[in-house]
Amino acid sequence: MHIKECIVSAPGKAILHGEHAVVHGKVALAVSLNLRTYLRLEANPTGKIGINLPNISTFLSFDATALQSPLPDRTADSRNAKELDVDLVARLRGFIGVTDSNSDTSTMAVLAFLYLYMSVFTESGELPGLTVTGSHRPPPGDLEHTARWSSEEMELINSWAFLGEKIIHGNPSGVDNAVSTWGGMLRYHAGKITPLSRVPMLRILLTNTKVPRSTKVLVAGVKEKIDKFPSIMSPVLESIDAISSMCQQTLNEMASEPMPEHYSVLEELMDINQHHLDVLGVGHPSLATLCRVTLGRGLHSKLTGAGGGGCGLTLLRPDTDPSAIHSATRELKDCGYDCWETSIGAPGVQQHSRSSVKEEVLRFLNH
């Protein structure tokens, strides 16, 4: 491998509206968050593959020669990331000892990385030494510039990211990887993902209640309730669908000229949707606390994602009193929650460098 160092980053992602309803054919809006994950790749002359993920307390090292045995026998095109090689996944699961009982976040992240790493270098037949370090903070030192990817390169990045999602989540929608690749906002409906070009940069407070939950169990619970009370729950799903569409329309208008009434509409939509999500059965006392604490400061919140705990979003107007944000954050942290003030609509995947190395990066990606 000729590249000495490569630094890339991608934004986080949240569902603005439409969670759970999207499973039943309704519209969902997904947005990028300006909370980025940075990945630094460095050539390792010792021939080892190092994986350093401090945010999930993962520090591993493998000998490249030991990984040769699970290397696919066939010669594959590393630029074709359309199909998951289930045999390679199974062999790698055995190599690092993944079982149903220990398939936690860190283990599955390592599995996904090793799969992508080995797939990219299948053609060469030899695995180069590489150290990968992931962090929510940029690497130390000044990053001189950001290079732009072509549309073809973005499609390739998204395709590989989607395979990583399939390894970790089984049958993902493709929304998460698409938002992190392209950034901004995406409209997801019945399997079709549509990027929205006019998205204002909105400030939010992201709160993690740190209450664990099972997305699979919550989704199943919503389906059970819909099956039991179809005449009651169907209108709720239709209303959530209308909320997503009205939010999209409002954001489109705001992109031209944000007005106070736009924020009022967005706040009401968040309140209504949160009530609907409670009706669907995916609320939680921790999320009710978030809504109560923020509403006491004139701020409006809703859950984002599966619910049952997890994370919530709070909309911040441009003229929101900083003391209101500070006091709400302090009270939420006293509850044991984590809070980050950030924004939605952040740029997608980016390449950073301390010098101009784009050609080397592209050779590495396309190998």
Task: Report, as residue numbers or ranges, the catalytic residues.
Answer: 176
| The residue type at 115 | Y
* 311 touches 303 (CB < 8 A): yes
Could you give the C-alpha distances from 226 to 24, 81, 131, 146, 217, in angstroms and in order?
A: 10, 37, 48, 47, 14
How many degrees, rounded to 5, is the angle at CA 252 between CA 250 and CA 257?
90
Element (H, E) at 6: strand 5-17
Q: DSSP string spanning 75-124? A: ---TT--SS--HHHHHHHHHHHT--TTS--HHHHHHHHHHHHHHHHTTTT
* 167 touches 115 (CB < 8 A): yes
Closest CA relative to residue 19, chosen from 200, 241, 310 = 241
Angle between helices 105-120 and 86-96 (to 10 degrees): 130
